[in-house]
Amino acid sequence: MTTARYSIARRLALLLTLSLALVGCDEAPAPLAKQQIHPVKLVTLTEDQGGMLKRYPAVVQASERSDLAFRIGGELEALLVKPGERVSEGQPIARLDDQDASSNLDSAQSSFNLAKATFERMRYSVERGAISQARFDEARAEFLSAQASLEQARDRLDQTELDAPFAGVIANVPVENFQVVSAQQTIATLHKPGRIDVRFQLPEQQVRRISREAAEASQESASPVAWVRFGADEARYPARYKEHDTSVSQGSLSYEVTLTLPEPDDLTVLSGMSATVVLDMARLTGGASDHWRVPVGAVVTRDSAPDQPVVWRYVPDAEGDASDSGGERGRVEAVPVETGTLTEAGLLVRGPLAAGDRLVAAGAQRMDAERQVRPWVQEEGL
């Protein structure tokens, strides 16, 4: 009896094992873990991030300007322009009261007429021997003097009107109508549009490093030596080196440097406005310009080479390897660099980098050559 029960138990256990095995065969195999693609924040190297860049506060001035003034003094009878007004070449700017000048012209004209008539009579008389040659010479001298006085009186009357020497924009009018002005006193400042200058102070120790050959070469080069930012506007405009003073600015140990650039089409820039200059000193000193300014977080070291700083450069996959969702993806590669000066705008590095390279700007310490990444794009509202 005991043997029979044991045999039945064995059969039941065998049937249960076979059932579990069959159930296991019906289940699908567990899927492989999907490869993870990490989003990374990238920064793109641009031309104005290269070189030994330094920032300086600056002031805008017109490249071509003229302080318009009368050559004679008098009372302003008409002030015909206002600041910001565009004028054409030859357009009247202001007029002086010409009453005195007109009276002087009338007097000079009368004196000339008398001297001319006397001279004609004397010439007729000297030809007939009625007067001496000396008396004729006196009459001739009086005639020439009267003629010169007449021309001077005409010029003085013409000088009561001030005209624009070229087409431009009135930048400043420091006088008021009916005011008595003196000779050579500025009536209006005229700026010629098209180009502007930006002036800033460069410390003495940096001026010493400027190479004349490098500065002259930068003037002929098509690539900018600096970039200019106006006010709080983040846009930067390329500028070229124009000149620098050879005498120190009063009350300082610095020299004035002038850059020039085309007048921006998308921004109103007037003389006296503030600006910020980003200057590539390497272009003026003739030194190496293979430095790049990158975020501090982009430079890291690896456990395999703790003494060698690197940046991680993003390498996109080929177009055919893009994901089905259409998003860009790729990998990263380590680029060895030499670190330089740390500034508030970033860290200077030197290495095999070029404008257009995209570097990992944040989380670079977690990167490795096998990691698949995609550029992180900030969504609207985040």
Give one DSSP letter per residue of 32-51, joined into a string. PPPPP-EEE-EEE--GGGBS
With respect to residue 92, please indicate whether it lies within any of the assigned structural domains: yes
Q: What pLDDT is stored for residue 176 in this prediction?
A: 93
Question: Under a CB-based contact definition with an 8 Å cutoff, are residues 115 and 146 in contact?
Answer: yes
Going by C-alpha positions, the residue among 146, 180, 183, 161 that lies closest to residue 101 is 161
Return the C-alpha torsion angle 50, 51, 52, 56, nearest 10.
Answer: -60
Count other Cβ atoms within 10 Å, centred on residue 236: 17
Q: 199 and 223 in one domain?
A: yes
Q: What pLDDT is stored for residue 123 in this prediction?
A: 87
Q: What pLDDT is stored for residue 14 in this prediction?
A: 53
Count other Cβ atoms within 10 Å, centred on residue 279: 25
Q: 88 and 103 in one domain?
A: no
Q: 258 and 151 in one domain?
A: no
Going by C-alpha positions, the residue among 176, 151, 184, 157 that lies closest to residue 70 is 184
Neighbouring C-alpha atoms within 13 Å toward the C-beta of 135:
13
Q: What pLDDT is stored for residue 49 in this prediction?
A: 61
Q: Is the dihedral of CA 118, 123, 125, 131 positive or negative?
A: positive
Q: 276 and 219 in one domain?
A: yes
Per-residue pLDDT of the chain (382 residues; tens, 9 = 90+): 455 555 555 654 554 455 554 444 544 444 544 557 888 899 888 765 655 677 899 999 888 889 999 999 999 999 999 998 999 999 999 999 999 999 999 999 999 999 999 999 988 888 888 888 999 899 999 999 999 999 999 999 999 999 999 999 898 899 999 999 999 999 999 988 888 999 999 998 888 888 888 888 877 777 788 889 998 777 889 998 898 888 888 777 899 999 999 988 888 787 888 999 988 777 787 665 567 888 888 999 988 888 999 999 999 887 644 444 557 888 899 999 988 777 666 788 888 888 788 999 888 888 888 788 888 876 544 4
Give the tokens for residue 174.
């420091």
With respect to residue 300, please indicate whether it lies within any of the assigned structural domains: yes
Q: 175 and 90 in one domain?
A: yes
Q: 77 and 186 in one domain?
A: yes
Residue environment code for 167-187, b if the CB has 16+ CB neighbours within 10 A, otherwise e: ebbbbbbebeeeeebeeeeeb
Give the tokens for residue 238.
């390329």
With respect to residue 16, please indicate whether it lies within any of the assigned structural domains: no
Rg (CA), the chain: 42
Q: What pLDDT is stored for residue 320 in this prediction?
A: 43
Q: 253 and 108 in one domain?
A: no
Q: Is the dihedral of CA 240, 246, 248, 253 positive or negative?
A: positive
What CATH number should be reported for the domain holding residue 185? 2.40.50.100
Q: 245 and 358 in one domain?
A: no
Q: What pLDDT is stored for residue 382 in this prediction?
A: 46
- 175, 192, 209: which is the final residue of a domain? 192
With respect to residue 315, please indicate whether it lies within any of the assigned structural domains: yes
90: left (phi over 0), alpha (psi -120 to 50) or beta: left
With respect to residue 131, please indicate whether it lies within any of the assigned structural domains: yes
How many separate domains does the chain show? 4
With respect to residue 2, please indicate whether it lies within any of the assigned structural domains: no
With respect to residue 21, please indicate whether it lies within any of the assigned structural domains: no
What CATH number should be reported for the domain holding residue 237? 2.40.30.170
Going by C-alpha positions, the residue among 359, 364, 331 that lies closest to residue 37 is 331
133-158 vs 99-127: helix axis angle to the nearest 10?
160
With respect to residue 257, please indicate whether it lies within any of the assigned structural domains: yes
Question: Under a CB-based contact definition with an 8 Å cutoff, are residues 38 and 371 in contact?
Answer: yes
Q: 57 and 200 in one domain?
A: yes
What CATH number should be reported for the domain holding residue 296? 2.40.420.20
Q: What is the extent of the structural domain holding 137?
A: 98-159
CA distance 56 to 326: 44
Q: 183 and 75 in one domain?
A: yes
Q: 114 and 86 in one domain?
A: no
Q: In what order do the strands lie in the sheet with 291-294?
A: 291-294, 346-350, 338-343
Question: Under a CB-based contact definition with an 8 Å cutoff, are residues 195 and 262 in contact?
Answer: yes
H or E stretch including 226? strand 226-230
Q: 244 and 217 in one domain?
A: yes
Question: Under a CB-based contact definition with an 8 Å cutoff, are residues 190 and 164 in contact?
Answer: yes
